[in-house]
Structure 1
Amino acid sequence: MTAHRGQRSSAALLESAILDCFDGVTALHRAEIVQRTGLSRTVVASLLSVLTARGVLLMTHVERTGTPGRPAFAYQLRSAVGPVLLIRVSGSALGLSLVGPGGVRDTAAVAVPSVADSGWVDGVREFMAKAEAAQARTRHVVISAPFPVNQAGEPAYPSSPALGGSYDVLRQAVEGVRRRLVDALDRPVLMVNDAQLAALGEASFGAAVDARASVHLSVRHGIGCGLVLGGQPFTGPDGTAGEIAHVRITDTGPDCFCGGTGCLATQFGTKDIDLALAGLYGRPLTPAEADALVAANDPRAVGYYREVALKVARALAGIVTVLTPDVIVLDAELGPAHVPFASSLADGLARYCPPLQVQGLRLLRGRLRDAQAAGAMAYRPTGEQRLPAGRP
């Protein structure tokens, strides 16, 4: 198991050769790409298939001019089609990010006193109108959901007294925002799990671009795990694939809102890892202060992140054993804590997984400052996310 990035694979270099063809060009036919790259038709066809499946390229119909026959296929960079709007729900406010091929282009915060209030909907419309006046039309809206989402675009965990009031409040808030925007906006409004967005972002534009199977771990603001297989996010039939926060890692422990006992999510006393770290010092800590403690090799801070990583390794071991991913990407927000966390995670996986499964596994630092935003840009609506009949 390695904790560094090796040379780029030959596949990644060939993909770069394909993408370089689109500099200053709106669309290209396959024959034109063959001519520009000098690669064989078979190799180009295979690479185009991979890049299209991963959402980097779009295949479109282009009418032939002056010659009879069927419409020709051409390829476009998805980034050339237009930006997306990413919405993150935080308490009684929405964080809006307009995301384009170069990253986040514009941001805003909109207060939501009540989902039923119309003022915040107008605020979202105004933000989009202002952004689109200066740039291209927004392709779709992605709402980042801090809970698993099934293939129908609904929360994977239904409302239930066993899940606890805090989950119900959060679920209802995010769903309420989505329902209002479906009515108010004339484009697709999708709900996608936040960990899956981050995983797709790093797999499409970041540290895992050359991986066949990658795992992304979010840590600081809640343990989350996203899976990307063959360039596509994998959530399983019910949307809960990768939910390591609800893997039982001890036979004794607090009850979890998922209905289990001793889950990873119950081990830190709070969803926010930095808040749990602050408890060791008996005072609030800003992210910068937490980073400074780790950078100074403070034994309590370093030991804390090592302990968290060992618990995560125990929950993650089953996924690593079954999927044998090429890469595990650790959230870039870990900052200086990446070093002790990655080291302890590697030790834990070596302890809990068969040796062969972790022999070539790479643990990489995330490259993207906002992996969720990159994931929203890469996300491809499949037509599966629809509101159930009778829902507005």
Structure 2
Amino acid sequence: MTGTSRSGTGSQTALRGRNTAAIVRALTVTGPQLQADLSRVTGLSRATVSNIVALEVEAGRLRAERVLRDGRWGLLVSRAPEDWVVAGIDIGRSHLRVVARDAAARTVGDREIALDPGHLPDVTLARASELLDEVVAQAGLSRSRVRKVGIALPASVGPDGAVVQQSVLREWSGMNVAERAAGVLGIETVVDNDANLGAFAHAAGRGGRGTLVYLKVASGIGAGIVVGDRLYRSTTGLVGEIGHVQVVDGGQTCYCGSRGCLETLASVRTVVADFERVHGRAATLDDVLAAIAADDPVALRIVTEAGDALGRVLAVMCNILSPDVVVVGGPLTPVGAPLLDAIVASVRKRALPAAISRTEFAVSDSEPRAEVSGACLLALQALDAEDLSVPTS
């Protein structure tokens, strides 16, 4: 009798712990939510959500505030800020961004610098450490109050934090970035692909509903996929490597070793190189964007053809996933309608109409900080997994 009682109590405690973790995870990923909406987001009953919110508010871990929404009063639930932060680090081919956020996902510090192409890992991580000191000082905190760091990297990253696919950062290939960064920063670190984290950030803005595909067009091209409030991951770390899908036979050689890959047709590097070749002078992405703003027919043609190539590959993804939302991000987003229209026209020409009948296509409104926002969310989520771990039996 006594043993049975203990087992039941333990099971109830474990179940309550898992339900609490689900609510906290939802608030971490999506931000403040009406209590009624938390039931839908988590799949828990309204009574369960109400009981857990009441307990967590009493314990000081959550906050609840009566608000008027659409003519009705409701309870807005959010995480309570604490005296610690997490940091997000976005490492690109030519930039480094560091952001600090508190438990309520509020940005409390932000720094960004340019990097030289071909930057070396140890030098870049040391610079990231310096920026992190500046960021936490901006928040009025010390380094000791940073509990977890998330890193966004333009590379495929395995479950252990090691780079498993050569990327635009060739000097980082094969490195266990999670271990190296933790050693330099002195803080536990989690790492993921930048397109994955861009997808994570955009899905959070939607409240974790449906399936979202984030297409990042930069020096490389990749896609991140979020289903509900969870990133789609593989056991190898390779996900969304659409930049290396072959689009044409016998095309330019890609750095992956194949020919005619999407990246050879539609990456930022290709767009700028095509613009340079036509105009016969050195150029930058800013030059291309300025030419497009001035309705330069050559620049518009180059971007439109890049959009068509992107749509060819994206159409296949749409046939497979039938996503609710496709968001286009990366340095080309200032182009706006000309790029998006070309992508959508190409997708509609090639995808099954039923597969995209409910798909919303949009240009990201979060650039250039989508990836670093996702890195902060990754760190918060990892921290929650530790703080809210519960027995499995």
Does the TM-score normalized on the shorter chain lie above 0.5?
yes
Quick check: which one's helix share is greater?
Answer: 2
Structure 2 counterpart of 1:250, from 221, 236, 248 = 248
Alignment correspondent of 1:153? 161
Deviates more, 1:235-244 or 1:303-312: 235-244
TM-score of the pair, normalised by structure 2: 0.69
Aligned mate of 2:88, from 86, 104, 108:
86
Pair 1:375 & 2:374 matched: yes
Paired residue total: 328
User: Could you say what secondary structure the match of 1:238 adopts?
Assistant: coil
CA distance in 1, matches of 2:60, 2:94: 49
Q: Within 1, Cα distance between the matches of 2:329 and 2:204?
A: 15
Worse-matched range after superposition: 370-379 or 120-129: 120-129
Letter in 1 for 2:294: A
Partner of 1:80, secondary structure, is coil
Paired with 1:177 and 1:119, the residues of 2 have a C-alpha distance of 13
Distance 1:344 1:91, change over 3 A: closer
Instruction: Quote how far apart the aligned CAs of 1:264 are.
Output: 1.0
Which runs of 5 or more structure 2 residues have no equivalent in the other structure?
1-26, 45-51, 64-76, 386-393
Letter of the 2:89 counterpart? I
Cα distance in 2 for partners of 1:256, 1:233 equals 28
Please state if 1:293 is matched with 2:291.
yes
Instruction: Say which SS state the counterpart of residue 382 (structure 2) adopts.
Output: coil
Asked if the contact 1:222/1:273 (under 8 Å) is kept, the reply is no
Q: Contact 2:325–2:360 at 8 Å: present in 1 too?
A: yes
Q: Compute the displacement of 1:288 (Å).
A: 3.9
Matched residue, 1:315? 313
Q: Which runs of 5+ in 1 are unaligned?
A: 1-14, 22-32, 34-38, 51-58, 66-70, 158-162, 385-392
Q: Is the 8 A contact 1:99 1:106 kept in 2?
A: no
Secondary structure at the aligned position of 1:141 is classed as strand
TM-score of the two chains, using structure 1 as the length reference: 0.69
Q: Secondary structure at the match of 1:96?
A: strand
- Measured after TM superposition, the shift of residue 90 of structure 1 is 4.9
Structure 1 residues 121 and 19, CA gap change in structure 2 (3 angstroms): closer
Aligned to 1:171: 173
* Equivalent in the alignment of 2:32: 19
CA deviation string 1:158-195 (max 9, x = no partner):
xxxxx69x7642326xx376434312445321111111
**Aligned residues of 2:92 and 2:153 also touching (Cα < 8 A):** no
Whole-angstrom distance in 1 between the partners of 2:197 and 2:124: 28
Secondary structure of 2:238's aligned partner? coil
Would the aligned equivalents of 2:215 and 2:326 in 1 still touch at CA under 8 Å? yes
Change (3 A) 1:145 1:338: same
More strand by share: 2
Partner of 2:357: 359
- Measure the CA separation in 1 of the matches of 2:201 and 2:124: 33
Q: Is the 8 A contact 2:151 2:190 kept in 1?
A: yes
Kept in 2, the 8 Å contact 1:302–1:337? The answer is no
Q: How far, CA to CA, are the matches of 2:61 and 2:121 in structure 1?
A: 47
The answer as to whether partners of 1:97 and 1:105 remain within 8 angstroms in 2 is yes
Q: What is the RMSD computed on CA atoms of the aligned residues?
A: 4.1
